Structure 1
Amino acid sequence: MEKDHILDENPHQTYNNVAKPQEQTGEPLSGSKKVKQKNHSRSIKTREG
């Protein structure tokens, strides 16, 4: 039971629980992916430049 209590207090698990509803909608997740791809391309260009 002690292990379960630690997992319950784990901040990562709480954060995941908060993010779950956002993933269910799907729209913000797709937008985040597009933004991440753009940022990734920018990082590569900055490295080459």
Structure 2
Amino acid sequence: MELDPADPPREPVVVMTAKFVDSEGNVVEYGVDLGVPGRKWRTESEVAQ
């Protein structure tokens, strides 16, 4: 998604970041997601020990 600075959204935009680490503190996944008006998202995580 690219935002046009000349025509910015009239509603809030959410920037989300997620960092997943293993039991030793090593980063195993990193992501950035943008939430815009009208967009829905769902996430599920399973943690095993």
TM-score normalised according to structure 1 size: 0.23
Rg larger in structure: 1
Structure number with the higher strand fraction is 2
TM-score normalised according to structure 2 size: 0.23
Q: Which has the higher contact order (CA 8 A, sep 6+)?
A: 2
